Structure 1
Amino acid sequence: MHIRIRIRVLTLAAAGGAALLTAGVLPAHAAPGPTTPKSAQEGSVGAADLLAKVTSCQQISGGKYKTDDGTSATVPVCGKNGAVFWKADMDIDCDGQRTTNCNETRDPWFQNDTAFHQSDGRPLKAESLPFVVVPGTSTIWNYTSSGIKGGGVVAVVYNNRVEYAVVGDTGPSTIIGEASYATAKALGIDPDPATGGADSGVTYILFKNSQASPIESHSAAVTLGEQLAKQFLQSN
């Protein structure tokens, strides 16, 4: 299990799935390799429409999570038809392949691996691939029991923007609210792994039994994500 424990430094700038596609899998031939997102509003499903479906929480986790080490546990994992969601902050995950902005020099907590790997077996690339971190399995919650897997598609909503990402890494078993450098950048959040992130206001909607293939193709996640988001709106 890939574990990272950090206290994020905030700056003043921080601001039932039957209706889903069968197995929720997009064929590998549907998209080429990794691409950097060009826009934070991806597809036609709006942030307000998604947020209107997650105003109340049916808690499915056995307890609640902290948003950072040393804070109180206040964040539950909630269940909806075809998805699970939580509302938290966003810490920056810069792990995986070394790149210009994700390396030991830029990230004090850098690790050269991710829990889930590209189709060629290499770690994911946090600087260019939007992905979300799920808490490691514990008595609080086991993400696999909710139909969440590596490559699963996630709609990340922040400041009236929607970004599609994949489940790409696991984190501490008691902390929630973390996504890759590329996810933050696309949403207008400071992606600096040491001082960036958002201290609140981020909604993560993870679609059950979904999987973008290959995991490193952002366009595959966007195509499948929009289909699942539309079905999510219809079934909730």
Structure 2
Amino acid sequence: MRTRTLTLSAATGAALLAVAALPANASGTTAPRSAQEGSVSASALLAKVTSCSQISNGKYRTDDETSATIPVCGKNGAVFWKADMDVDCDGQVTAKCNADTDPWFQDDTAFHQSDGRALRADSLPYVVVPSSSSIWKYTSSGIKGGGVVAVVYNGKVEYAVVGDTGPTKIIGEASYATANALGIDPDPETGGADSGVTYILFKNSQVSPIESHSAAVSLGDSLARQFLANN
């Protein structure tokens, strides 16, 4: 729900320093919670999104300072984009997500838990979609709050929900919990990934309640298998 203002080069350098201070696995990334969620592999999903049929009216930036190069692409039953990952820590105030840990912190999210509270970024995997604009209106593509997203990175699959909206011209952001599960440094100020993240959003899907990650994994796995069969 905010625009990042760090330059790409500064953010990259800070991220490298942060990762160096964290426990690492053999590949040098922070250890993910699991190699993948569900029965569908990262390679199987990526094989279906090798080409782009652009549905957005223009392209997005990954940060304020970069040029607009990222289209939203359409597939049978899904939309997708390939971008970076900025870390969103908005929502409920926690020890990991607050105004001290995140210079851009906001205590609300576009979509809310079943009890009306904002989402909790440090424990719920969610993805940020660009706010509706002349470039693309996510609702016109069957994307809604609580919709299921397969986030693919470095051979791993993490299922998340659409949980927040961001700037109208920037794309590529997900919650602290999403980054952490994929082995990406989740620090909202210095972490994230500069590239290599694929976001596959399944049309007309919705997890209920939105805060149930197990429900997102169950529905996501089913939709991913359907996606493979239909594309």
> Please, what TM-score do these two structures have when normalized by structure 1?
0.88
Going from structure 1 to structure 2, the CA distance change for 1:143 and 1:229 (only over 3 Å counts) comes to same
> Identity percentage over the alignment?
78
Q: Secondary structure at the match of 2:56?
A: coil
2:60 corresponding residue in structure 1: 65
1:159 corresponding residue in structure 2: 154
Flag structure 1 segments of 5+ consecutive residues without an equivalent: 16-36
Number of matched pairs? 213
Q: Secondary structure at the match of 1:164?
A: strand
2:69 corresponding residue in structure 1: 74
Larger deviation, residues 80-89 vs 3-12: 3-12
Give the superposition deviation at 1:12. Answer: 2.2
Tell whether the 8 Å contact from 2:123 to 2:176 is kept in structure 1 after alignment: yes
CA–CA distance in 2 between the matches of 1:184 and 1:13?
17
Tell whether the 8 Å contact from 1:14 to 1:198 is kept in structure 2 after alignment: no
CA–CA distance in 1 between the matches of 2:147 and 2:35?
19
CA deviation profile, 1:186-235 (whole Å, cap 9, x unmatched):
00000000000000000000000000100000000000000000000000
1:90 corresponding residue in structure 2: 85
1:211-226 to 2 correspondences below 5 Å: 211-226=206-221
CA–CA distance in 1 between the matches of 2:220 and 2:115?
23
Residues 1:121 and 2:116 aligned together: yes
1:201 corresponding residue in structure 2: 196
Q: Secondary structure at the match of 2:46?
A: helix
CA–CA distance in 1 between the matches of 2:229 and 2:87?
32
CA–CA distance in 2 between the matches of 1:38 and 1:5?
28
1:116-155 to 2 correspondences below 5 Å: 116-155=111-150
Q: Secondary structure at the match of 1:145?
A: helix
CA deviation profile, 1:121-140 (whole Å, cap 9, x unmatched):
00000000000000000000
Aligned CA RMSD, in angstroms, stands at 1.3
CA–CA distance in 1 between the matches of 2:71 and 2:56?
6
Letter in 1 for 2:146: G
Going from structure 1 to structure 2, the CA distance change for 1:83 and 1:190 (only over 3 Å counts) comes to same
Residues 1:233 and 2:228 aligned together: yes
Letter in 2 for 1:6: R
1:4 corresponding residue in structure 2: 2
Flag structure 2 segments of 5+ consecutive residues without an equivalent: 20-31
Tell whether the 8 Å contact from 2:33 to 2:182 is kept in structure 1 after alignment: no
Q: Secondary structure at the match of 2:216?
A: helix
Give the superposition deviation at 1:38. Answer: 4.3
CA–CA distance in 1 between the matches of 2:114 and 2:5?
32
CA–CA distance in 2 between the matches of 1:44 and 1:223?
10
Specify which of 103, 109, 113 is matched with residue 104 of structure 2.
109
Letter in 1 for 2:132: T
Tell whether the 8 Å contact from 1:14 to 1:199 is kept in structure 2 after alignment: no
Give the superposition deviation at 1:70. Answer: 1.5
Q: Secondary structure at the match of 1:69?
A: coil
Larger deviation, residues 100-109 vs 38-47: 38-47
Specify which of 95, 100, 103 is matched with residue 100 of structure 1.
95
